[in-house]
Structure 1
């Protein structure tokens, strides 16, 4: 059975400038490697996004690795020590956009799968769920792939996402949940008028500021198991008034709430309305609130699965990883509706930055950790 060098696979992936929604051959690189191992590969294009599902083996248990080949833009390439898509290896590090987030992890799992298959350790089904739409809207990738799997009658028993979960060193952290996220746009409507005759107008700006101050200073909760308190952060105030002598007719603001499992997107919106309605009535201001939930909060509680991951990681790194829910959102927010899910990958200190890089030794170490996890998984959950 074929074996792979995870660093060389990672370099081949990084050389594909797959800034969302472009693929630029990244999925072809992975598909070629997996096909050579005997994986059954299916490309799943949805609108402008291409995705890949690959599986090997039959029956249960079904262990899935999920990830994304799309990357964020590199910014000014002249600011990089090495060109962002050259995949240079120097000073013991692998440089390039996607090295950390998360082409290095995809390569590591492919190499781990090759070794586990060669050793006959896959006693069930092993799969890859790889999207090209994680760094952007997230609507034509994992969400639709999971729906396709359900329609095909494919059940995932457990899933590991290869996001760069470690803050500083390999073995630091496993992500066992994520906060939910809701983006809101608040618009207050007044009455336009001349600044010299304010009694003939109704200025919406003080009303908007009063509402924002109230929302910002009112705690949502005191936290939740393994979660920090929910947080509302104002991200933009927009008036769009080009004249100095005109009271505007509308004033708007945008804010984001990262919330823990005390809430759902729906109950957050109910809370916002309960906070805003009394103020609007008191000051006679008309407002409109538009909200989009980009992900619900979740916490994985399958301790048998989490302890398996933790034990394998500690054996290979000497560190007992922290169970954490910190950070932003990931595609785990969709997968949690289908299977218990956790996240473990490379060190994320430079993800999305100029000169993104990872230690070459860490890529190799991650492949070893993943191979141990695959072996232990089928020993633990196999029939």
Structure 2
């Protein structure tokens, strides 16, 4: 089966509200086309294992990492809601092929990479490591599937996560991301005392307190670090504000949303806002950053990427959070290698290059054959 055909099959299956049908397809394909232990956990994540020390019992696939080095080829099969133009009358996702590309919701993010990983997992032979294929659920909802799998004990030694890494160093070149930023979303809640606006001194203005907190955030230094010689610089920004109830009432509450792009080992000191009377700070979402700590593994993957293309791939830094952040937090050395280029995902004309999908099949397969040799 060609990677374009498998991608087309996966992309056509709706998976923005319920990933079960896509998970069913992946699980059934793995059972039919691979000689491996296939497992679907209670969260909907799909796993397959093969290699030294792997038996046919699927009940330990997501839990047992013993028996030498283990490498995961990881992705996710959920997608963001499609544009109307990407859905057929029968509810299936529309998939079109033209000019060497596949168009459709999830083609770039990231069913194309999942298809490439499925094929390379099938074709990998003479393994010196335990090879794991995994497709997570609920990545677009905050990497919930990988969080659940890790909580259940899933922690391979190494992982190649198939999120986009193409076009960072040069157009069309599939690079190797050795780090990416995380995201910490939080809310600053300011409370005061309501009063009639004609009697300002009778109240405590929550918007003023929130404004003082915004000034604190504005003056914070952005977090920054270095990974394998590459600077990873985060950011902090106030993105929303909501307060007040009427034009003639001193506001008793005001909420401010803060978006922080985190970096490995560093965080902005947003908690300083709590030194202001009536101000509390709450973290709503914390998607961790990723940094590969095994330079030899990163170089091995870079060598595999170099061998598959005419361009000169590089180690790069990716700006977006992925499941690799959760895996890195569990002790897995990760890199991100995938076909999508910046700007291809989450759009009405989302697409992926078939040539680059074929390239990723070769990269994943070659990495699997070299790990632990």
From 139, 146, 151, give the equivalent of 2:150: 146
> What is the aligned partner in structure 2 of residue 26 from structure 1?
22
C-alpha distance after superposition, 1:233-275 (max 9, x if no partner): 111100152x2111111111010211223425xxx5xx33335
User: What residue number does 1:238 align with?
Assistant: 242
* Aligned-pair Cα RMSD in Å: 2.3
Corresponding residue to 1:274 among 272, 275, 280:
272
User: Contact 2:87/2:94 (CA < 8 Å) preserved in 1?
Assistant: no
Q: Secondary structure at the match of 2:257?
A: strand
The residue number in structure 2 matching 1:167 is 167
Q: Would the aligned equivalents of 1:346 and 1:366 in 2 still touch at CA under 8 Å?
A: yes
Correspondence list, 1:179-258, <5 A: 179-221=181-223, 223-225=225-227, 226-241=230-245, 243-258=246-261
Q: Aligned partners of 1:44, 1:296: CA distance in 2, in Å?
A: 23
Following superposition, the deviation at residue 16 of structure 1 comes to: 0.7
1:90 equivalent in structure 2: 98
Name the CA shift for 1:122/1:93 in 2 (closer, same or farther; >3 Å): same
Structure 1 position 304 matched with structure 2 position 301: no
Alignment check: 8 A CA contact 1:102 1:163 kept: yes
Q: What is residue 41 of structure 2 aligned with on the other side? A: 44
* TM-score of the superposed pair, with normalisation by structure 2: 0.86
Relative to structure 1, the CA distance from residue 214 to residue 320 in structure 2 (aligned partners, 3 Å threshold; closer, same or farther) is same
- Indicate conservation of the 8 Å contact 2:86/2:105, yes or no: no
1:30 Cα offset (Å): 1.8
2:310 is equivalent to residue 318 of structure 1 = yes
Q: Deviations over 1:31-65 (max 9, x none)?
A: 2222221121111123xxx1111111223332211
1:99 Cα deviation after fit: 0.5
Residue 339 of structure 1, aligned match among 332, 337, 353: 332
Stretch moving more, 26-35 or 99-108: 26-35
- Distance 1:273-1:126 versus aligned 2 partners, 3 A rule: closer
Q: Could you say what secondary structure the match of 2:255 adopts?
A: strand
107-116 vs 70-79, greater mean Cα deviation: 70-79
| Unpaired runs of at least 5, structure 1 | none
Describe the SS at the equivalent of 1:227.
Answer: strand
User: SS of 1:233's equivalent?
Assistant: strand
Name 2:2's counterpart in structure 1. 5
TM-score, normalisation: structure 1: 0.84
2:109 aligns to what?
101
Q: What CA distance in whole angstroms lies between the structure 1 residues aligned with 2:12 and 2:209?
A: 52
Q: Distance in 2 between matches of 1:104 and 1:346?
A: 8
Deviations 1:115-155 (A, max 9, x none): 333xxx3233211121111111333x1122233345xxxx6
Match of 1:228, SS state, is strand
C-alpha change, 1:201 and 1:31, in structure 2 (3 Å) is: same
1:356 shift after superposition: 0.5
* Contact 2:86–2:104 (CA under 8 A) maintained in structure 1: no
Q: 1:206 to 1:310 in 2, by over 3 A?
A: same
The Cα of 1:77 is off from its aligned counterpart by 2.7
- In structure 2, relative to structure 1, the CA distance for the partners of 1:295 and 1:310 (3 Å cut) is same
Shift of 1:84: 7.8
Conserved? CA contact 2:308–2:362, under 8 Å: yes
* 3-state SS, counterpart of residue 365 of structure 2: helix
Note the alpha carbon deviations across 1:319-342, whole angstroms, 9 max, x for none.
Answer: 332323331211111111232111
Summarize deviations over 1:340-359 as a string: whole Å, max 9, x none.
11110012331011111012
CA distance in 2, matches of 1:333, 1:157: 14
Number of positions where the alignment pairs a residue of Structure 1 with one of Structure 2: 350
